């Protein structure tokens, strides 16, 4: 059984993946697909895997907010 290591803040989480052989519900072909512990219903052609959306790092957003509040405080005083 394949496993995937994912780093989550302070620890490592191991996610186990399994190769499933099944009949696709849409195209009725026998297919093999590596998936997480639940058995898939559709093949990669009928339902391709979701694309991950990258989020900006939260530290940079927080530091920008702090800078804006400091700048607005200085401009309001003068």
Percent of the chain surpassing pLDDT 70: 69
Quote the tokens at residue 13: 């989480």
Alpha carbons 41 and 12: distance in angstroms, whole number? 29
In what helix (H) or strand (E) does residue 75 lie, and over which residues does it extend?
A: helix 58-77
Q: What is the pLDDT of residue 3?
A: 73
Residues (pLDDT < 70) of the chain are 1, 57-78
| Average pLDDT of the chain, as a whole number | 76
DSSP character for 38? S
């Amino acid at each position: 059984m394949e496993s995937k290591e994912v780093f989550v803040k302070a620890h490592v989480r191991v996610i186990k993946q399994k190769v499933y052989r099944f009949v696709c519900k849409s195209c009725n072909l026998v297919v093999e697909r590596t998936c997480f512990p639940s058995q898939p219903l559709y093949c990669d052609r009928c339902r391709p895997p979701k694309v991950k959306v990258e989020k900006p790092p939260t530290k940079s957003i927080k530091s920008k907010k702090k800078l804006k509040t400091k700048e607005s405080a200085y401009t309001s005083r003068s």
